């Protein structure tokens, strides 16, 4: 798999994670908690994919991917907290999880853009 398609795969996985969290947040807490177990596992897998691709990137791309890793680790933390919480604390944890997932998608998208910009500059030379 090429580095570009690898980054595109990571971005698609981060976007799917965001959708899964959004869907879990829209459900009642009992169903959402079951979904959150899967979300935590998925976040861990996406985090590992991002970490694996960092070494192959230019410095600008690495910066965004490292920020995405931080956001994905926060997703895991807040999803785990939501599993233990109930009521308002549960809702707060879900909102934090969703915000972290959204931020990770943004950072991975910025990494893809940085990678493409670097390649475009290299191609012009």
- Mean pLDDT for 89-111 is 92
Residue 99: predicted pLDDT:
95
The overall average pLDDT reported for the chain is 87
Residue 122: predicted pLDDT:
79
Residue 37: predicted pLDDT:
84
Residue 113: predicted pLDDT:
93
* Domains of the chain listed by start with CATH number: 3-124 (1.20.120)
pLDDT digits (tens, 9 = 90+) for 19-53: 988 887 787 666 577 788 888 899 999 999 999 98
Helix residue ranges per DSSP H, the chain = 3-26, 29-54, 59-84, 87-124
Residue 1: predicted pLDDT:
46
CA–CA separation, 32 vs 120, rounded Å?
43
CA–CA separation, 70 vs 8, rounded Å?
19
Does position 3 have pLDDT exceeding 60, yes or no? no
Residue 63: predicted pLDDT:
95
- C-alpha distance from residue 23 to each of 5, 29, 84 (Å): 27, 12, 19
Residue 125: predicted pLDDT:
65
Whether the CB-CB separation of 77 and 105 falls below 8 Å is answered with: no
CA–CA separation, 55 vs 122, rounded Å?
19
**Cβ atoms within 10 Å of 96's Cβ, excluding its own:** 17
């Amino acid at each position: 798999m090429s580095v570009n398609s690898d980054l595109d795969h990571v971005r698609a996985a981060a976007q799917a994670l965001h959708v899964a969290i959004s869907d879990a947040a829209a459900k009642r807490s009992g169903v959402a908690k079951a979904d959150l177990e899967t979300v935590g596992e998925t976040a861990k897998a996406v985090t590992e994919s991002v970490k694996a691709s960092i070494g192959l990137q230019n410095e600008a791309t690495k910066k965004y991917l490292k920020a995405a890793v931080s956001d994905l680790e926060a997703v895991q933390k807040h999803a785990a907290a939501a599993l233990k919480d109930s009521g308002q604390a549960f809702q707060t944890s879900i909102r934090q999880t969703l915000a972290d997932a959204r931020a990770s998608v943004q950072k991975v998208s910025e990494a893809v853009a940085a990678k493409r910009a670097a390649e475009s500059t290299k191609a012009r030379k």
